[in-house]
Structure 1
Amino acid sequence: MSSRSTEPIYVVYDGACPFCAHYVRLLRLREAAGELYLVDARAPETSAGVVNQLSAAGYDINLGMALVRGNRIAHGDECIHELALMSTTSSAFNRVNAWIFRSPARAKVLYPVLRVGRNVALRVLGISKIQSGEHR
């Protein structure tokens, strides 16, 4: 019997943020995670449904990445924690990421720092935040 998830998993991130985009490219998730889609929240042609689902549930993608599996949503520090639990140890990046973020307490403390880094990077690059209604 396989432990592979039967529901698709969507990881929603800000593709214009160099840190977010680099993070999802480096992250290697276990095959057991199942069908996984990396969704750039700024690409309405591919992200509208899941971004609207997040918005309807009261989540702001500007405040954190999201992991969506069916009706279950992990946002911000919870998302990064769940991704760490699903990641492999195939690279130095993944080993460090897993060690840091497998602890819910460390994820809760460190995630706001990552969000500040995202906001500073966007400001320096002259990129506006994602508008919640742009996918409707």
Structure 2
Amino acid sequence: MNMNDKMNGIYFVYDGECPLCRSAAYALRIKEKFGALHLINARTEADHPLMAEINKRGLDLDEGMIIYDGSNFYHGQTALEFMARHGAAKNSFTVFCKSLFRWRPITVITYPWMRGTRNMLIRNKNIGRIDNLNHKSTPIFQSIFSDAWDNLPPVLKKHYANRPYCNDIVTVSGHLDIMCKAPLTWLAPIMRLMGQIPPANEENVPVTVEFKSDLHSKAFQFNRQFYFKSTKPYAFRSQMIQVQDNVVIEVMRFGLGWKMRYTWDGTKVILSHKGYALKLFGHFVPVPLTLFMGKGYAEEVAVDEHRFDMITHITHPWWGKVYQYKGRFEIMEKLDG
């Protein structure tokens, strides 16, 4: 069989190592007008002709199950909606799907939770990802920069070399000049509690940054250590999560995130402000904090094959530039994991 042949019935592609997915696959019943229901375990039937088409279309099976009805592919949330619309009410599972997931607002809210549950179950079983799109061989930021990736200077490619679903670590070291002024300084205790940028004023601060991959996701983690003269080292940790094309959210402690757009203008990488968001139960909820906190901005410029300059600042609509750090970093180490 190949995709040029007529494929009759409904094909349900699922993760056979996920108890939740497996139970759904075995319990699903489809209306008779669609014909037979064919189950495909993505882990054991990777050579099925349908899998080749799924990969060609860039459908990530680690992000959701897939239903194919002979002409259309339904992925993740839309697959759940297909089950609700066209399932035959012959058992409690199908009745549950039809009663709950026929309403799109409900699937929008609940599907990330279901996907998170699946990921947790897989982690607990110490099972790797399906990775049908072979993400492990591609840097996380290659899809963010898209066609511009090939034009990045070598040092910036090293900076963003981390791949997903592995233990890659890239370490950089440098010095930063840090400026923080009112009214942001008034919030210093809250900023420290929330693990935000260091509310300090000091020049030539030694800083070490680890860019770490996540074994179980496509998140890009920042672990920063600031070594101030008169205080203990300050840790600022966050993770970058791609939400759409070149739009990324940097998530900090308690789920507060800065939403930004990554671009390469031919001379530098620019991170432009797109607002703030709060991560709640797998969803990013926009929060109107720009008027209160100001707009973020950052850029990175290659110096040579091993060093790059960077600057980050926050500009408040009333108070002007209230925060900035800038300096130079050198790629120290890259560990492939």
Name the counterpart of 1:19. 20
1:85 paired with 2:85, answer yes
Runs of 5+ consecutive residues of structure 1 not aligned to the other structure:
1-5
Partner of 2:43, secondary structure, is coil
Show the 5 A alignment for 1:41-80: 41-44=42-45, 48-80=48-80
1:112 paired with 2:119, answer no
C-alpha distance in structure 1 between counterparts of 2:104 and 2:51, whole Å = 24
Per-residue CA deviation, residues 51-104 of structure 1 (Å, 9 max, x unaligned), is: 221111011011000111334111001001101111122222221211111112
Name the counterpart of 2:323. none
C-alpha distance in structure 1 between counterparts of 2:75 and 2:54, whole Å = 9
C-alpha distance in structure 2 between counterparts of 1:9 and 1:92, whole Å = 20
Larger RCO, structures 1/2 (Cα 8 Å, 6+ apart): 1
C-alpha distance in structure 2 between counterparts of 1:83 and 1:39, whole Å = 16
Partner of 1:112, secondary structure, is helix
Change (3 A) 1:93 1:8: closer
Structure in which a larger fraction of residues adopt strand: 2
Change (3 A) 1:27 1:8: closer
8 Å contact 2:61–2:131 — kept in the other structure?
A: no
8 Å contact 2:29–2:37 — kept in the other structure?
A: no
8 Å contact 2:60–2:133 — kept in the other structure?
A: no
8 Å contact 2:12–2:40 — kept in the other structure?
A: yes
Q: Which runs of 4+ in 1 moved over 3 A?
A: none
Give the AA of the match of 2:87.
S
TM-aligned CA deviation for residue 50 of structure 1: 1.3
Partner of 1:20, secondary structure, is helix
TM-aligned CA deviation for residue 116 of structure 1: 0.3
Change (3 A) 1:48 1:118: same
Partner of 1:70, secondary structure, is coil
C-alpha distance in structure 1 between counterparts of 2:10 and 2:27, whole Å = 17
Change (3 A) 1:54 1:69: same
Name the counterpart of 1:34. 35
RMSD of the TM alignment (CA)? Answer: 1.9
C-alpha distance in structure 2 between counterparts of 1:117 and 1:37, whole Å = 24
8 Å contact 2:83–2:97 — kept in the other structure?
A: no
Give the AA of the match of 1:100.
L
Give the AA of the match of 2:30.
L
Structure in which a larger fraction of residues adopt helix: 1
C-alpha distance in structure 1 between counterparts of 2:92 and 2:36, whole Å = 24
Partner of 1:39, secondary structure, is strand
Name the counterpart of 1:3. none
8 Å contact 2:15–2:22 — kept in the other structure?
A: yes
Identity percentage of aligned residues: 28
Runs of 5+ consecutive residues of structure 2 not aligned to the other structure:
1-6, 135-337
Give the AA of the match of 1:93.
F
Asked which structure has the greater CA Rg, the reply is 2
Show the 5 A alignment for 1:96-111: 96-111=96-111
Give the AA of the match of 2:24.
Y
Change (3 A) 1:35 1:109: same
Change (3 A) 1:118 1:104: same
